Amino acid sequence: MTLLVAAAQAASLDGDLPGNVARAAELVELAASQGARLVVLPEAFLTGYSEASFAADLPHEDSLGEPWSAPLRQAAADGDCVVVVSTPLQRATVKTLSLLVIRPSGEVSAPYDKQHLSGYERDHFLPGDHGASITVDGIELGLSICYDGCFPEHARAAAEDGAIGYLNSAAYFPGGEHRRDVYYPARAVENGMYVVFSGLTGRCGPSEFIGGSAVYDPEGRPLSRLGADPGIAFAEIDPELVHETRSQHPMLVEHRDTLGPRVRA
Any idea where the domains of the chain sit in the sequence?
A: 3-252
Residue 132: Cβ within 10 Å count: 19
**Tens of pLDDT, residues 115-128:** 999 999 999 999 99
Nearest to 4 by CA among 246, 233, 240, 242: 233
Q: Are 202 and 191 in contact (CB under 8 A)?
A: no
Q: What percent of the chain has pLDDT over 70?
A: 100
Work out whether strand 201-204 and strand 207-210 pair parallel, antiparallel, or are unpaired.
antiparallel
Q: What are the angstrom distances between the C-alpha of 259 and each of 183, 243, 263? A: 23, 27, 11
Model confidence at 257, in pLDDT bands (50, 70, 90)?
Answer: confident
CB 41 within 8 A of CB 8: yes
| Dihedral sign from CA coordinates of 139, 212, 71, 90 | positive
| Entry pTM | 0.97
Amino acid present at 47: T
Q: For residue range 203-238, what is the model confidence (pLDDT) as tens digits?
A: 999 999 999 999 999 999 999 999 999 999 999 999
CA-CA distance, 210 to 68, in Å (whole number)?
28
Whose CA is closest to 48, among 101, 83, 85?
85
- The set of residues, in sequence order, having a beta carbon less than 8 Å from that of 106 and lying 6+ positions away, is 65, 73, 76, 77
CATH superfamily of 3-252: Carbon-nitrogen hydrolase (3.60.110.10)
